[in-house]
Structure 1
């Protein structure tokens, strides 16, 4: 792992190496610690049903209150938590007192697009984080402020992401869209303008093909649990910084993977587990974590890992999972460890 990426990984995707933990929940910003609403006394300037801790007076916690509407939000609140309620809509004047709101956390409610009135979210010109996971949205919400850096819309019923909804969001770095009903045509081209996007999760949707126009700065890309059968040649060539690519639980076959499509010099981790591969795709020698479990692989060509083996030319793979395939220890070539000389774990069973 590149050290320069470590702080980003720890904050945004705690447990990234736990491959199948998609309900990661909400991880607060380290500069603004999470304080549970019932742990400390509340300030006087706060909605009566909510809690505004004296130690963090600009945060208002209204979680787990069975609220059906947004309470009155006093001026001065910048961080608003409304998780685990029964809110179906947002009135247009809901945030008139706090147009400088920075965080709005609405996970686990009953929000619908038709009940989010007018331009109520567009008025929040300083908004950085908007979380509407586990609701009833059918489209991505927006347009939103260009200050946005974290947009989470997972576990909804979203079938469409329009380019105009994301227009101008040049500072967005994190976008959660997993566990929706998205198809290839409903996303293609809509994400291209997100020039700062580093993390994109489109897992658990209905993609049969990879969408066109992915943001060029992507560091982490997740397409697990879709129905993808093939990857266009040179599809990832424009993603010069891509380090983590997960395509597990799809329908990939050898014929659907061009020869060098995964030969990406920046890639650190590649997950192709639970597909229908019979051979090991060629990868770059810089790859460190390679997950191929539960395919139909029956041979182990060293050329998939090393073009040439020498003092400085060898694979950097540390973890290689091949369990659930048609391979045994006898199928591994004797010269394997010259190529995979830094491998700490090669799993066959």
Structure 2
């Protein structure tokens, strides 16, 4: 009986297996790959895939950062984005974030109009050019300024603080302005100043100057009789060139530094000269080798009246001998 039952059960299973439909195989054309979407839909039956499983499968193809956003939801996703941005920003060695550059340091200090000096003028290394900008005052200069040019402007006054704390300043050129007043302390506290050019202005009184100067040009001003203090150039041991033309001077400013090479006094009102103006009358062997260029032409002085005044010089002054 058991054998008969097993035989019948086996026949039923065999019949079911024979009558079950077999899936058709899909043939791909190796050159065109022209399988249709219907064939693929029959082969990959998505209807039987659970919905939650399909979401996870799509999430795996996203970048790792966005995958976390998908899992955390919109609120947590915003936090994750901020963290990613922070991590992508480069840090300094100490862990801090780099600061934005300060344009005041690159473009110099701000003027009274809150405009950087190096945008108004031209700054090249330690040199500042402010020529022909219709300036009526000296702009604030960078601390490292060594050479300052502000020619052909309308500057009328030099204040005591215009060059304050500029310890590297070596040359100032203010040619062709309208300067008529200079504060007594405008230049005196500049330890490195070598060259001062103030020609073509309206200066009536020369302030105290630093003894470090090697070149002075104050030509074409209005110094007159009292515009230069007594012994103004006495301690300037390194002064080589002194230009005082066209100033209505009536005398040669004495004493002159020993190392002076050029003295230009043409077109003034100098009437006389002493025998010890250039030479030492007490020492007949004294020779002043450095002073080779003396200009006195354009003055009412007669050089032939004081021949002993030039005996120590390598060359005679230029001027009238009649």
Q: What TM-score do the two structures reach when normalised by structure 2?
A: 0.57
Aligned residues: 196
TM-fit CA distance, 1:193: 4.0
Runs of 4+ in 1 over 6 A off after TM superposition: none
CA deviations 1:28-82 (Å, max 9, x no partner) are xxxxxxxxxxxxxxx93441311012xxx10000000111100001111100001
Q: Structure 1, unaligned stretches of length 5 or more?
A: 1-42, 254-349
> Could you tell me which of 101, 121, 133 is aligned with 2:199?
133
8 Å CA contact 2:271–2:299 kept in 1: the answer is yes
Distance across 1 between alignment mates of 2:220 and 2:199: 6
Distance across 1 between alignment mates of 2:184 and 2:137: 16
Equivalent position of 1:143 in the other structure: 208
8 Å CA contact 1:128–1:147 kept in 2: the answer is yes
After superposition, residues 1-349 of structure 1 pair within 5 angstroms as 44-46=106-108, 47=117, 48-53=119-124, 57-112=125-180, 115-139=181-205, 141-159=206-224, 160=226, 161-184=228-251, 187=252, 190-210=253-273, 213-214=277-278, 216=288, 217-229=290-302, 230-239=304-313, 242-243=314-315, 245-247=317-319, 250=320, 252-253=321-322
Q: Structure 2, unaligned stretches of length 5 or more?
A: 1-104, 109-116, 280-287
Distance across 2 between alignment mates of 1:64 and 1:214: 40
Distance across 1 between alignment mates of 2:214 and 2:167: 17
Which structure shows the bigger proportion of residues in helix conformation? 2
8 Å CA contact 1:79–1:103 kept in 2: the answer is yes
Distance across 2 between alignment mates of 1:45 and 1:214: 49
CA deviations 1:293-319 (Å, max 9, x no partner) are xxxxxxxxxxxxxxxxxxxxxxxxxxx
Distance across 2 between alignment mates of 1:45 and 1:97: 18
TM-fit CA distance, 1:142: 3.6
Larger radius of gyration: 2
Q: What TM-score do the two structures reach when normalised by structure 1?
A: 0.53
